[in-house]
Structure 1
């Protein structure tokens, strides 16, 4: 069987990615004209950029987490489409730069996104958090976070491509290669745990509500972006299959990607419920205030109630009903549809995480937000496709490639 090793970007694909990026740039320009100045409008403009930049950065970075987690688990089933996952992770570089600019703007231009920058005198809670919530610590940690994601991710991609033109001579060389991969994957996982699963969501998102806190917030954020990341991988794998690439990838691999989307939709829901249940059960005002604008039916709040429950339905009800069946996880059309739904659903999750805190009395979702999101989608499409052209689509000399080709669930 002839194998199509290298990806050639179709003209239609290139046009769509460029058009979406154009929509994004135009949306930012128009949005700045409409919302870029003034205390209230400035906050509106930067909030949308904060939501989109952090969400899509974390989603693409989840691709490298998937690579490293499966490397540590000595998994082989994913090797036949590993280059797709690696290509998605390349988007962390441009998205990381954009996110860094947005995050620094939220701090140093002070569009009133983070009220801990200007605490009221005598605010004991913010005074107690000042050693953590300050410009210096925020800036340093943000640079380290994004910088090491880029560096460690690039190292993992380099290790993968080492074997493209240099087959391993014997089994001992294969063991050494796997060990080296495992070491670097472990380093990435440790840093990922210290950032995505711990400190970074506190800085970027939870500190918007600086008086509120949740010990489950970082895990909740991780679950949301990881399941969206698996959905993004699935979309690109199915697209390449439909274009005649990834000949060794079959419905067994798609089935397992569907399992990940199904399982982590349930995991996200577990964290969603556990966070709410614990706060509801304790009934402490400093914690329950977070849900006032999100689920309460009081006349002076509850503006996001409909959006909140709609987001819950498409992030939990839809995946559990549709992806529960074995056949649906092996159907390319079904898993693609659900992948798109999941990515959109968790984008809405991030929207309510940001906007329900900054604008608790009314929902501001409009074409500006969708336009900005379209720009990020176009950038991911362009960056991933460009990365796919730079290396063979299959890691043919990887020690686990045979295991991946004969994979059966």
Structure 2
């Protein structure tokens, strides 16, 4: 075990990560030249919409890894300890992706282009009763303050949880009372993270960053829907790194029992996401209230209908058919393929959440689907950033938290 206790990133791994980052930068530059640099605000929105979609999606996905750590910590669960350093390393990406996402969000908010966030146009708000009614919440000052505070708190609390975990690597706790105190300290900090998470991801942040793109639309389920989408994608990302490390001879104590439980999370939250998707869609469509159905018209029946139903097939039909059986959740190849599908499917979900409004020409009222290849290229850039940052985080600490009080529970875990 001594030789495989610390991760050393293969040269090919870093080469792929850097190549993906290069593809992302090239795609961003190309999209800026073809759309972002134009004088037409509608074309500029094409560029900023892509940056918004990708940065917010991947930020919420990597932050979901710390949610998983804190949720299992509060439950005093030990089964995940054999691979806990994987979600810890993924969560270390939050400050990196958070800076990128924060810069993009603030640039959109304070720019002179109001095609994405209509509520940033004070003249328009003054003549729009709905936006005027929401201006206490939808205003630049509140948006900037909450955005910066949220990213900082996610980063700091995540750092504290990782620090607590790594503090035992060289300093095992010899007494029972000391272990109890350590677990209580972990529980307190995990609870603080969960409070912040509840006040942001599960409520205000999706309203500000995403739902306010369609500021006339209402949905009380939107934040939970966004959470479910990014949490299942976060579990898929954890699964990919676990399989990658296992295939390279690491994570000796992680076995098919642990992979099975990760697969359960992927399956269960795919169903939970579908429940929220159907509840939101069915209730709004059935009520047939114009203020609500305006959101789903271009998605379910308009130009984005192909993307809308494709992501439903990927995010629900595929998991329920493939991940239902016990054997499929214990198969490295199946889990890996499904993890990639889930990450892509929920990326498509965010694509159709962001683009219909900015891609509606204000002069003609015509909505069109942008060339998705640019967006995929930028997405690959974020994948490269996450690969590189996670690899660095994995190499800075032992891959097994062997001195954790609950490590034994993980070693004997059986599902």
TM-score range, shorter chain: over 0.9
How far off is 1:356 after superposition?
Answer: 1.6
2:163 equivalent among 158, 166, 191: 158
Structure 2 residue runs without a partner (length 5+): 361-366
1:15-34 equivalences in 2 (<5 Å):
15-34=15-34
- Between the aligned partners of 1:197 and 1:191, the Cα distance in structure 2 is 9
1:116 equivalent among 119, 131, 143: 119
1:218-229 equivalences in 2 (<5 Å):
218-229=223-234
- Between the aligned partners of 2:372 and 2:225, the Cα distance in structure 1 is 26
Tell whether the 8 Å contact from 2:125 to 2:132 is kept in structure 1 after alignment. no
Tell whether the 8 Å contact from 2:65 to 2:234 is kept in structure 1 after alignment. yes
| Residue 44 of structure 2 corresponds to residue 42 of structure 1 | yes
Deviations 1:333-364 (A, max 9, x none): 00000000000000000000000222141110
Tell whether the 8 Å contact from 2:42 to 2:359 is kept in structure 1 after alignment. no
Number of residue pairs aligned between Structure 1 and Structure 2: 404
| Residue 351 of structure 2 corresponds to residue 351 of structure 1 | yes
1:64 equivalent among 63, 66, 73: 66
- Between the aligned partners of 2:371 and 2:202, the Cα distance in structure 1 is 28
Q: Which residue of 2 aligns with 1:80?
A: 82
Structure 1 residue runs without a partner (length 5+): 297-301
Tell whether the 8 Å contact from 1:85 to 1:233 is kept in structure 2 after alignment. yes
**Structure 1 outlier segments of 4+, above 6 Å:** none
How far off is 1:282 after superposition?
Answer: 1.9
How far off is 1:366 after superposition?
Answer: 2.7
SS in structure 2 of the partner of residue 159 of structure 1: helix
How far off is 1:147 after superposition?
Answer: 0.5
| Residue 57 of structure 2 corresponds to residue 55 of structure 1 | yes
CA gap 1:308/1:402 in 2 versus in 1, 3 angstroms: same
- Between the aligned partners of 2:217 and 2:241, the Cα distance in structure 1 is 38
Deviations 1:113-134 (A, max 9, x none): 1011122543110010011100
Q: Which residue of 2 aligns with 1:299?
A: none
Tell whether the 8 Å contact from 1:3 to 1:247 is kept in structure 2 after alignment. no
- Between the aligned partners of 1:306 and 1:231, the Cα distance in structure 2 is 24
Deviations 1:349-405 (A, max 9, x none): 000000022214111033211110010000000000000010000001000001001
- Between the aligned partners of 1:138 and 1:120, the Cα distance in structure 2 is 16
- Between the aligned partners of 1:92 and 1:53, the Cα distance in structure 2 is 11
SS in structure 2 of the partner of residue 326 of structure 1: coil
How far off is 1:303 after superposition?
Answer: 0.3
How far off is 1:294 after superposition?
Answer: 0.6
TM-score (norm 2): 0.96
Q: Which residue of 2 aligns with 1:107?
A: 109
How far off is 1:3 after superposition?
Answer: 5.6
SS in structure 2 of the partner of residue 29 of structure 1: helix
SS in structure 1 of the partner of residue 357 of structure 2: helix
How far off is 1:277 after superposition?
Answer: 1.3
Q: Which residue of 2 aligns with 1:334?
A: 334
Q: Which residue of 2 aligns with 1:322?
A: 322
